[in-house]
């Protein structure tokens, strides 16, 4: 049977916003089956976090990377040189139209100034608070730096993660954001989820992380296993669960979904696979 694996990146293959480490790169090299990536981040951010370290650690092979929650598909070839080629691209602006897209941006700008979204003085802001990833938007109340984190960016991130864990800030504001989106853009098909540890992801339904799984099945894979840490309501991996339950409501289909706690859990899973176990 043709089998493939789709991996989330943050907190699955790498620690959040940290570079891929050698042991995980070696596990991917020894996987013995095709794999793909499904990440919320864009190419610029993931070059230093994943692609360049993977190549530097000696991985040689080819895989596809579905970035920005499925909006962009790259083919990655690791040979003597690292090559990423754009295979498919989706534009949120084209989908919503110029007017709808600017209405959405204006709404997000206003919400960042709304007292309901206000951050305490203990949380600093570093980087862009609205990141346009062409096929997706990322709303980061404490800001998001492009590429590798600076010391100020790491400090801001750590402050926000602690604040969010203590107060449930994002979980509390997720339904508020959903309500405001429906009010400003009635009938929209935007899908909203928590992005990593610090943000909210907005994508067009269908151009989410399930797109990687659906594409591999459409292109001939008989079975796909999805591995991610955010397979819970509101998490940005949850679209895969929604796709599976909608496609095979009566029972088991050609997709397995495995939620991992963190990078160490993924390592345990891959080690179990190499021994011929399930690793669940």
pLDDT at 184 over 80: yes
> Confidence class of residue 276 from pLDDT cuts 50, 70 and 90?
confident
Predicted local distance difference test score (pLDDT) of residue 278: 55
pLDDT at 277 over 80: no
For domain 94-187, which architecture applies? 2-Layer Sandwich (3.30)
Predicted local distance difference test score (pLDDT) of residue 250: 78
Share of the chain above pLDDT 90, in %: 77
Predicted local distance difference test score (pLDDT) of residue 233: 82
The mean predicted confidence, pLDDT, of the chain is: 92
Average pLDDT over residues 253-259: 96
CATH code linked to domain 3-90+207-274: 3.40.50.1000
Predicted local distance difference test score (pLDDT) of residue 8: 97
> Confidence class of residue 41 from pLDDT cuts 50, 70 and 90?
confident
- Distance between CA atoms of residues 240 and 247, nearest Å: 11
Predicted local distance difference test score (pLDDT) of residue 196: 82
Average pLDDT over residues 189-218: 91
Where do the CATH 3.40.50.1000 domains begin and end in the chain?
Answer: 3-90+207-274
Predicted local distance difference test score (pLDDT) of residue 65: 98
> Confidence class of residue 212 from pLDDT cuts 50, 70 and 90?
very high
Average pLDDT over residues 176-200: 90
- Distance between CA atoms of residues 245 and 5, nearest Å: 19
Predicted local distance difference test score (pLDDT) of residue 125: 95
> Confidence class of residue 273 from pLDDT cuts 50, 70 and 90?
very high
């Amino acid at each position: 049977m043709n089998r493939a694996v789709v991996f989330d990146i943050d907190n699955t293959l790498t620690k959040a916003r940290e570079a891929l480490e050698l042991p995980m790169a070696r596990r991917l090299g020894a996987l013995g089956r095709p794999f793909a990536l499904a990440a919320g981040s864009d190419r610029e951010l993931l070059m230093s976090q994943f692609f360049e370290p993977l190549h530097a650690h000696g991985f040689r092979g080819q895989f596809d990377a579905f970035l920005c929650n499925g909006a962009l598909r790259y083919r990655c070839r690791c040979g003597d040189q690292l090559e990423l080629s754009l295979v498919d691209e989706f534009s949120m602006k084209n989908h919503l139209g110029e007017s709808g897209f600017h209405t959405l941006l204006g709404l997000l700008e206003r919400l960042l100034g709304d007292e309901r979204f206000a951050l305490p003085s203990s949380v600093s802001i570093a980087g862009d608070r609205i990141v346009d990833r062409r096929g997706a938007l990322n709303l980061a109340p404490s800001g998001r730096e492009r590429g590798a984190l600076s010391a100020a960016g790491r400090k801001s991130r750590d402050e926000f993660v602690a604040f969010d864990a203590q107060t449930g800030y994002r979980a509390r504001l997720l339904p508020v954001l959903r309500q405001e989106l429906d009010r400003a853009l009635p009938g929209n098909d935007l899908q909203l989820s928590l992005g990593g540890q610090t943000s909210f992801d907005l994508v067009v339904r269908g151009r989410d992380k399930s797109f990687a799984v659906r594409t591999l099945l459409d292109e001939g894979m008989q079975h796909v296993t999805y591995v991610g840490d955010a397979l819970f309501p509101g998490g940005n991996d949850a679209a895969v669960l929604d796709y599976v339950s909608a496609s095979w409501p009566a029972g088991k289909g050609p997709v397995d979904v495995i939620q991992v706690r963190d990078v160490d859990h993924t390592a345990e899973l891959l080690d179990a696979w190499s021994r011929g176990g399930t690793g669940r």
